[in-house]
Amino acid sequence: MKQKIKFINTDKTRFFITLKERVDQYFIDNKISPHANFAMVFKTIVMLSLYFVPYILIMTQHFSPLLMWLSSMVMGLGLAGIGMGVMHDSNHGAYSPHPYLNRIISLSLTLVGGDNKNWKMQHNILHHTYTNIYGHDRDIDDKVVMRFAPQGKYWKVQRFQVVYVFFFYSIMSLYWTTAKDFIQYIEFIKQGHNRESIVGKIRTFITIVFWKLIYYTYIFVLPMLLLHLNFGQVFIGFISLHLVAGIILSVIFQLAHVVENTTFPMPDEKGNIQNEWAIHQMQTTADFCRHNWFITYFVGGLNFQAIHHLFPNICHIHYPKIAPIVEQTAKEFGIPYLYNQSFWGALASHLRIISSLGKKELTFMKVANSMG
């Protein structure tokens, strides 16, 4: 069992209380729900279609190998879109006020090879609660020979990680659909995160296996049986799909937390973080490219990451309207609202941090100071 973390609002700030009142008032004044609206429902159809329509065309139109390959890459775009803009909201309970509808929509994750329960544990609980706290936020854990936090283990080979990191980013969703869910299932039990009964744990494992079988049946078995393709032909499309999805998903999530000016705080010996949780989120999270409607649309509002972390139960379709409220309130309380103006600026910032973390002596003062 890992050390229990507790956030201590030592300054007795009313930042989050004030912010929440203002955001709630926004929905009251405009007489709208914080959940999905028609635009979000339409977007859901678009993202699901981006994945499943190319698959249907592959299965019915006798495409040439080139068209099958291109269609597989379009499916990769759809997979990323589903992950960022559909299942993300539903698994946060932000899509609908009705839990059963959120559960139904969250099946979009299991249909594309993931597992909801594991994802909620890693993302909703560990990442959202302990953002950028090494050893607790699994998103910044050491991965293979990659270092994402100043407190991570240093290897000499990491001086090249700014180059090879993209290879590992690209295989992220491939690893997710093949091994990650099973590895996390075991780790969460060992670490005490999964507190289900023995029967519950068995049921969870069977559920993971069940959905994996459905996924691999329609991805591999049906094309081989119905289209008379060999394993190699199907495998090329499968890999292409996941390379596209993996690089998009990995980069978008990294641009929100592993960039310049975000901090990587560590608790004291008692497990306390001397900060209000909401301010901790503002200091460990960065927005990017907020005025680009296409990026906002495709990444499911994850470029408004600070809002998402503060209000994960609000559908991302509302983030652009809420952003000025958050920014103004943060300014009044003297709290930074971290923001990169463009996607490329955010990516460059991420690469500088990755490069710095690949050195034994960290070169960015903000990162070095965050070591405590």
What is the pLDDT averaged over residues 207-217? 96
Q: How confident is the model at residue 368 (pLDDT cuts 50, 70, 90)?
A: very low
Q: pLDDT at residue 371 above 70?
A: no
What are 287's strand-pairing partners?
Answer: 339
Per residue in 331-359, pLDDT (tens digit) is 999 999 999 999 999 999 999 999 999 99
| Residue 296 CB coordination number (10 Å) | 20
What is the pLDDT averaged over residues 194-212? 94
What is the pLDDT averaged over residues 244-265? 95
Task: Using alpha carbons, list the distances in angstroms from residue 259 to 30, 199, 251, 253.
Answer: 35, 42, 11, 11
Cα(135)–Cα(2) distance, integer angstroms: 8
Q: pLDDT at residue 360 above 90?
A: no
Q: What is the mean pLDDT of the chain?
A: 93
- Torsion angle defined by CA atoms of residues 56, 57, 61 and 63, in that order, rounded to the nearest 10 degrees: -120
- Residues above pLDDT 90, as percent of the chain: 90
- Check residue 3 and give its pLDDT: 72
What are 7's strand-pairing partners?
Answer: 273
- Check residue 155 and give its pLDDT: 92
- Check residue 216 and give its pLDDT: 96
What is the pLDDT averaged over residues 286-305? 95
Q: pLDDT at residue 365 above 50?
A: no
- Check residue 1 and give its pLDDT: 53
What is the pLDDT averaged over residues 91-102? 96
Q: pLDDT at residue 372 above 70?
A: no
Nearest to 187 by CA among 138, 238, 229, 154: 138
CB 290 within 8 A of CB 323: yes
Q: pLDDT at residue 145 above 80?
A: yes
DSSP strand pairing (272-273 vs 6-7): parallel
Q: pLDDT at residue 329 above 80?
A: yes
Per residue in 16-69, pLDDT (tens digit) is 999 999 999 999 999 999 999 999 999 999 999 999 999 999 999 989 999 999
- Check residue 62 and give its pLDDT: 87
CB 288 within 8 A of CB 344: no
44's tokens = 């859901």
Per residue in 60-89, pLDDT (tens digit) is 998 999 999 999 999 999 999 999 999 999
Q: pLDDT at residue 109 above 80?
A: yes
Q: What is the secondary structure of 166-200 as a DSSP string?
A: HHHHHTHHHHIIIIIHHHHHHHHHHTT-----HHH
Q: How confident is the model at residue 191 (pLDDT cuts 50, 70, 90)?
A: confident
Residue-range domain boundaries for the chain: 6-369
Q: pLDDT at residue 193 above 90?
A: no
Cα(45)–Cα(131) distance, integer angstroms: 31
Q: pLDDT at residue 370 above 50?
A: no
Cα(55)–Cα(42) distance, integer angstroms: 20
Q: What's the DSSP call for residue 61?
A: S
Cα(74)–Cα(52) distance, integer angstroms: 10
Cα(93)–Cα(336) distance, integer angstroms: 28
- Check residue 63 and give its pLDDT: 92
Helices (H) and strands (E) in the chain, counts: 19, 4
